[in-house]
Every structure is written in C-alpha cells, then in structure tokens.
Amino acid sequence: MIHALANPVRFLKIARPLTPILLFGGLGLLLFGAWAGLTRTPPDYLQGETVRILYLHVPAAWLGMGGWTSIAIASFAFLVWRHPLANLAARASAVPGAAFAAICLATGSIWGRPTWGTWWQWDGRLTSMLLLFFVYLAYIALARADAQRGGDGRIPALFGLAGTVLLPIIRYSVIWWNTLHQGQSLTLTKSTIDNAILWPLAFTLSGFSLLFGAIVLMRMRALLAAGKVEARMRRMAAA
C-alpha cells in the first residue's frame, strides 16, 4: 500500500485530479461554515459575540497540531522506508502547519483580550503552542538548508520526529496544569459547547482540513517539479 502510493508517477496521477477537489470542496465548506457561524448561531451567554472566533481558532489549533502530526508520520516513514516522497510530504506540511499555528496564536490573543482581560499570558497552553510555532520555523529552516546542501533529508526527519514531544504537552497542558486557558471543550465523544453554537464548527473544521490537504499536495507537486528542473539543468550542464 505504502509502496504503491510512494511511486512519484502514480502519486502525480492521483494528486493532480485530487488537488482541485480538495481545494474547492474545502473552500465551499469553509465559506458555508463562516457564513453560518457569523449569522446563524446565537451569541454565548458570557462571552457574547466574541465566541464566534472559535470557528477560526479551533480549526487553526487543530491543523497547527495536525501539521506536525503529518510531519512526524512522514518523517517516520522516510526514516524507515527511505522513500523520497515521504520526505517531500514532511517538508510540504511545514509551512501550512506553521501558518495555522500562527493563526491560532493570533486569534487566541484577540479573543483573550476581551474575555480574560489580557492579550498574552505565559500559561502552559499558550506557551507550548508558541513553542510549537518556533519549532515549525526551525524545521523549515533546517529542511531548506538540508535540501540546499544536498543532504539526504535524514536530519530534518529526525528533528520532525523529536518535535513530536510537544504534541502531548499541548494537548494535556490544560488537564495536567493550572492554566488560564479553559479545559478542553471537545473530545471524540462529547462536547461542552452547546449544539446551537457548535454545528458550524464542523464545516469550518472540515473545510480548513481539506484546504490544508490541497496546499500540501500543491507544495509536494511544486517540490517534485523543482527537483525535476534541477536534474534537467544538471544534465544539460554536463552535456
């Protein structure tokens, strides 16, 4: 299964038609979710209208962590099976993951000012998420330097695996430590967000996730194309 997908030609055959499906499907879900979240839901009993930022904040947090999860899985696959596509998948997930982590931090800060009365506090959840953002930046710099110097991608892959240390810390920070950030509202089976407020989140969450997939596929295709260009230039220079 892994080897069938790992062939670049076969990958492109699937990725080419899949990219627009993910992109436009994601945008559609996202726009509907945003419209519903802005006009079709009641305000919260305490926070009032500021609660609506959750339709952006929660997907951004989920994909900020999801982006690193895919880096970790792809790095693992690359280290074990040594397939270059896994390396590309890890590199392609880094920039969108970092962007979503940044959106999560920014929207959280904007929400925190009216709700908590502060833009920023060094509590466990906020600090660990900020660390994840910095780790993304470090990974992006490392992967780029490795590729430019003709490295085999093993060092960024090891870094991708090591960075996974942050994911459980972010997840459990609000459970294990006293934090200003509230405890988790959503688990797989239940939610402490009332359904009247919750339902558009399903649309923005799936919309952003499809969009993330589309961006990763586009970046992987761009990286593959760049590799091809470089190989051709090298052949031409040698001839």
Partner 1 sequence: MKAKHQRLMLAGLGLVAVLGASGLALSALQDEAAFFYAPADVAAKAPPTDRAVRLGGMVEAGSIRPQPDGVSIAFVVGDGKARVPVTFSGIAPDLFKEGSGVVAEGRFRADGSFAADNLLAKHDERYMPPELAGKMAAAETLEQ
Contact residues for partner 1, defined by CB under 8 A: 41-47, 51, 54, 72, 76, 79-82, 114-118, 121-124, 158, 161-162, 164-169, 172-173, 176-180, 182-185, 192-194, 196-198
Residue (121 or 206) nearer to partner 1, CB = 121
State the Rg of the chain over Cα: 20
Minimum Å distance from CB 174 to partner 1? 9
Q: Which is nearer to partner 1, 54 or 217 (CB)?
A: 54
Quote the least distance from Cβ 22 to partner 1, whole Å. 28
Dihedral over alpha carbons 50, 52, 55, 60 (to 10 degrees): -10
Rounded Cα distance, 125 and 179, in Å: 7
DSSP, res 189 = S
Q: Which is nearer to partner 1, 122 or 189 (CB)?
A: 122
* Angstrom distances, CA of residue 164 to CA of 62, 68, 211: 15, 7, 23
CB of 231: closest distance to partner 1 in angstroms? 26
Q: How far is the CB of 72 from partner 1 (least distance, A)?
A: 8
d(CA 94, CA 76): 15
Sign of the alpha-carbon dihedral angle for 36, 39, 45, 49 = positive
* Closer residue to partner 1 (CB): 51 or 99: 51
Dihedral sign, CA of 185, 191, 197, 200?
positive
> CB of 91: closest distance to partner 1 in angstroms?
18
| Residue with smaller CB distance to partner 1, 15 or 54 | 54
Question: Whole-number minimum distance, CB 135 to partner 1, in Å?
Answer: 13
Sign of CA dihedral 129, 119, 62, 3: negative
First to last CA, the chain: 38
Q: Nearer Cβ to partner 1, position 44 or 102?
A: 44
Query: Coil, strand or helix: which one is 48?
Result: strand
